[in-house]
Structure 1
Amino acid sequence: MRPILAALFACSLPASALNVVFILADDLGYGEVGCFGQQKIHTPNIDRLAKEGTKLTQHYSGAPVCAPARCTLMTGKHLGHAEIRGNQQASVSFPQFKEGQHPISAGIATLPAAFQKAGYTTAAIGKWGLGPVGSTGDPNKKGFDLFFGYNCQAVAHSYYPRFLWRNDQQVEINPTPIPGHAKPVEGEVKAEPWIGKTYAPDLMVKEAQEFIASNKSKPFFLYLAFIEPHVAIHPPLDHLDEYPKDWDAKPYRGEGGYLPNPRPRAAYATMISDLDRHVGAVREALEKAGILDETLIVFTSDNGATHDAGGVDTEFFKSVGELNGRKGSVYEGGLRVPTIVRLPGKVKAGAENTTPGFFPDWFPTLCAAADLKAPDGLDGINLWPALTSDAKVERTKPMLWVFPEYGGQVAVRLGDFKVLRRNLDTKKPGPWQVFDIAKDPNETTDLSAGHPELITQAVEVLKREASPNEIFPVKIPDA
């Protein structure tokens, strides 16, 4: 925090002020960690968080892809009000920027800014995706004292980039970078050509450890947006033999995009296990600093599992469990994400919580946890009573998704039901569908014929809640 601002607010914080570490995985499917049903991939550190905390089994991302999901998280606005509703590059509207996504505006309130204004030291380490350095969406302008990592999610397709950003400065880490994309290869496929000098996630973990150690005596908000397991698949080779060689009868040659790999299934599992090791390293840093049990830890993913691109085989791993859909879809598999909350003495250990919630809820929830006042006008609700006392939280604000990409899609959660429609921006828009999520989380039985009143209600919600957005337009259909 800037010295003058820190002095103004330091006296308002109690000595026992709660630290917050929010860990966001990238394209991690609902079923890709052990505590959410994964059988093949080893995730002991994430599973330990679940044993020490509470699993949220009906928690949703705010969007089915990267940038808009992060926008809903940072601003507490659902996709009907969020400024960023898709993955558009900043250069489309702002040609002066060569990397980064469309920026959030200068006036929008953000979650880290609320903590910063209250006297917290704040850091974002990992992937940003909400505006280039120097734009109105620059992370240093949106509440973060420190930013270290990838500003642009397109650059983050590579785990060995030329540079990472430290605030507004580029820090070169690979004189010879490895791209995240390559042409398909013929002949023998080898992993070694795609391994660079410096593995970017290692630097980000080290930065997180140093931030925790440096700020252990004062309250902090740490946002860790790791890039695993987003393709391209090219993890370090030293953990690859943790997984069986007979998983991969044939190599991935790069024919489906991204980089080739001789052992794609094993390499993908290794990436998720590397993510798990990052979580373990962060937990260990908190423990070493003596603040583990005074720190609220949230672990989740930005959206559902990726498609079977880049060598990924989601069927082999049952990456979304028995859910329907993948990343980019408003079906459960695209939106429902593995979520864990840990805070001993407040959040029950080894528990499951079925309260429906989504990313806009984190803004008011984390403010409530830290006893901060959330700004007015948020679309999320405070889930803290449900997490700490098993209280039933009545949703006074709707859960909805207005997504212009992947053909154009909308969805609304109405109690136990979800109403959705897809392919709105095509010549043959799909029909309205209604699913009883409580009884049918796999979305196998469409109940739309018997529940026209739910479709009418969903349309009313969407038309009331979806404000116009010229950059990311979606036409709300009639019932």
Structure 2
Amino acid sequence: MPARIAFAFAFVCVFASLATAADVKKPNIIYIMIDDAGYADFGAMGSTQVQTPAFDQMCREGTRYTDHYSGSAVCAPTRCVLMTGLHTGHCRRRDNQAKANRNKTDQNGLVFLKDEDLTVAEVLQKAGYVTGGIGKWGLGNPGFEGSPEKQGFDHFLGYLDQVHAHDHYTDWLWNDGERMETGKRYAHYIFEEDTLRFINENHDKPFFLYLPYTLPHGKYEIPADDPAYALYKDKPWPQQVKNYAAMITRADMTVAKIMDLLKELKIDDNTIVFYTSDNGPNAPFVKLLDSNGPFQGIKRDLHEGGIRAGMAVRWPGHTPAGEVSDFVWGMRDVFPTLCELAGTETPANLDGISVVPTLLGKQQKGHDAMYWEFPPGSQQAVRMRKWKGYRRGTKSPVQLFDLDTDPGETTNLATKYPQIADQIAAIMTQSHTPNEFWPLDDGPPKKKKK
């Protein structure tokens, strides 16, 4: 073989081996997001009532984040923020249903992702990842551009419409764009089986598995013979509360099976797992279970109880074990973070930042400020270091709270620190991009004079 050809052949072989090595080093990514569990519904986040041994073990073997935030205070916009890396002042879906111009929406007041929307799944798919989603999508129904198979998912099993997802005993689900009959089996059992199947079938290649499980969202129902329900059946609680607690534990049992399978397949050290909830809890669980912990607010509320979400991240040999971090980050940061983990370029103009240094236990600069808006009540909120600003109505005065000393947002410090309140008001104004479906009003409705 001539020397020049031999050199070229050797170069190709070396390049191919390097490429293969690079592919092997790409971590598998599993993002688990259960539905409507409160910040303090996890043992490691302070629950004394609800059992979550898998979450707690992940915190011991990985890092627990105390200042992690949801994308929004309800389901659909949270998923939109997570998928697009844009906060609710910029993203396409800012509430479950449109507040205005419903006749112009995609379907019955619903606004779906469009072709021009770029999702993290699309970017990871192009970077060589097998992409899967199992659970509740909520960003595009069948036949629309926003359906998961048109937004970067090689596989999706579950509910596309969020109202359909209220029925845990549905007789059908969507499976890769096709209707799949279920025989009214408890849907989470199907999700668990498909999750383990996906990991088994794709463990020898880089994969991204998004698990927006529907538990413990209402309807609050679980099979009476489920081992999770047995833990709560004798509690002196209303049936709804028993079911809710059992549903959280049931989802956690699935996480335990995922972690066991990663070890069995010997891909544990090359798989980063995120485990969180999509927004704050509903009112019935706050009193008996203390679901929002020290925080004011529940689901649909931009106070801390509505948007702060417990988070555990585990990646053996990479994330510090047993650490607790108060670094401020949230679901808008998932897109750029996963891009860095995958070794691919991060799209421009995202609202999030990569938090890979933080996940690896290193120091990094955080957000200057984080912004949320929620059309019902025209709520706006900003987290700026230790400060939290909140208002209802774009011309209403900002309420200012020091989260270091007042996590329950009980003492308004706006008059004491007017410059900070004004700075936050300016951030609120700058961060809101007007949208025909999600207008924000000047202020709360005035009470009628009697």
> Which residue in the other structure is 2:11 paired with?
none
- Please tell me the root mean square deviation across aligned C-alpha atoms, in Å: 2.2
> Which residue in the other structure is 2:5 paired with?
none
Shift of 1:431: 4.6
> Which residue in the other structure is 2:215 paired with?
228
Percent sequence identity over matched residues? Answer: 37
> Which residue in the other structure is 1:378 paired with?
350
Query: Distance in 2 between the 1:454 and 1:372 partners?
Result: 38
Please state if 1:107 is matched with 2:116: yes
Residues 257-276 of structure 1, C-alpha deviation per residue, up to 9 Å, x if partnerless? xxxxxx22222211111011
SS in 2 for 1:421: strand
Query: Distance in 1 between the 2:281 and 2:355 partners?
Result: 25
Shift of 1:278: 1.3
Shift of 1:16: 2.2
Shift of 1:77: 0.3
Shift of 1:102: 1.8
Q: 1:285 to 1:476 in 2, by over 3 A?
A: farther
> Which residue in the other structure is 1:402 paired with?
373
Shift of 1:392: 3.4
Bigger shift: residues 37-46 or 279-288? 279-288
Please state if 1:419 is matched with 2:385: no
Residue from 276, 283, 297 that aligns with 1:307: 283
SS in 2 for 1:352: strand
CA contact 1:101–1:152 (8 Å) conserved in 2: no
Residue from 193, 201, 211 that aligns with 2:198: 211
> Which residue in the other structure is 1:163 paired with?
172
Aligned counterparts, 1:213-292, within 5 A: 213-238=200-225, 239=227, 240-243=229-232, 245-248=234-237, 263-292=239-268
Residue from 314, 319, 340 that aligns with 2:312: 340
Gap regions ≥5 residues in structure 2: 1-18, 444-450
Query: Distance in 1 between the 2:295 and 2:258 partners?
Result: 30
Query: Distance in 2 between the 1:55 and 1:69 partners?
Result: 21
CA contact 2:127–2:342 (8 Å) conserved in 1: no
Gap regions ≥5 residues in structure 1: 1-9, 175-196, 252-262
The letter of the residue matching 2:230 is D
Q: 1:267 to 1:447 in 2, by over 3 A?
A: same
> Which residue in the other structure is 1:462 paired with?
428
Shift of 1:444: 1.6
Shift of 1:88: 1.1
Query: Distance in 1 between the 2:276 and 2:235 partners?
Result: 31
Query: Distance in 1 between the 2:161 and 2:197 partners?
Result: 23
> Which residue in the other structure is 2:151 paired with?
142
Residue from 413, 420, 423 that aligns with 1:447: 413
Shift of 1:244: 5.2
Shift of 1:297: 0.3
Shift of 1:67: 0.5
Q: 1:76 to 1:476 in 2, by over 3 A?
A: farther
Shift of 1:132: 0.8
Query: Distance in 2 between the 1:277 and 1:93 partners?
Result: 43
The letter of the residue matching 1:368 is E
CA contact 2:328–2:366 (8 Å) conserved in 1: no
Query: Distance in 2 between the 1:431 and 1:357 partners?
Result: 26
Query: Distance in 2 between the 1:96 and 1:385 partners?
Result: 40
Q: 1:167 to 1:89 in 2, by over 3 A?
A: farther
The letter of the residue matching 1:203 is I
Shift of 1:65: 0.5
> Which residue in the other structure is 2:68 paired with?
59
Query: Distance in 2 between the 1:101 and 1:125 partners?
Result: 21
CA contact 2:102–2:437 (8 Å) conserved in 1: no
Deviating above 4 A after TM superposition, structure 1's stretches of 4 or more consecutive aligned residues are 10-13, 89-98
Query: Distance in 2 between the 1:149 and 1:364 partners?
Result: 26
Query: Distance in 2 between the 1:233 and 1:318 partners?
Result: 18
TM-score, length of structure 2 as denominator length = 0.89
Please state if 1:76 is matched with 2:85: yes
SS in 1 for 2:23: coil
Query: Distance in 1 between the 2:384 and 2:308 partners?
Result: 15
> Which residue in the other structure is 1:366 paired with?
338
> Which residue in the other structure is 1:436 paired with?
402
The letter of the residue matching 1:322 is P
Residue from 172, 179, 196 that aligns with 2:181: 172
CA contact 1:67–1:86 (8 Å) conserved in 2: yes
The letter of the residue matching 2:264 is K
Residue from 36, 50, 57 that aligns with 2:45: 36
Bigger shift: residues 298-307 or 456-465? 456-465
Larger of the two Rg values belongs to structure: 2
Aligned counterparts, 1:119-130, within 5 A: 119-130=128-139
Residues 247-306 of structure 1, C-alpha deviation per residue, up to 9 Å, x if partnerless? 13xx5xxxxxxxxxxx22222211111011111122122222221221010011111112
SS in 2 for 1:131: coil
CA contact 1:67–1:101 (8 Å) conserved in 2: no
CA contact 2:192–2:254 (8 Å) conserved in 1: yes
Query: Distance in 2 between the 1:15 and 1:408 partners?
Result: 47
CA contact 2:39–2:309 (8 Å) conserved in 1: yes
SS in 1 for 2:383: strand
Query: Distance in 1 between the 2:235 and 2:44 partners?
Result: 25
Bigger shift: residues 339-348 or 384-393? 384-393
> Which residue in the other structure is 1:118 paired with?
127
Residues 218-260 of structure 1, C-alpha deviation per residue, up to 9 Å, x if partnerless? 0000000101111111111113231252413xx5xxxxxxxxx
CA contact 2:98–2:438 (8 Å) conserved in 1: no
CA contact 2:98–2:105 (8 Å) conserved in 1: no
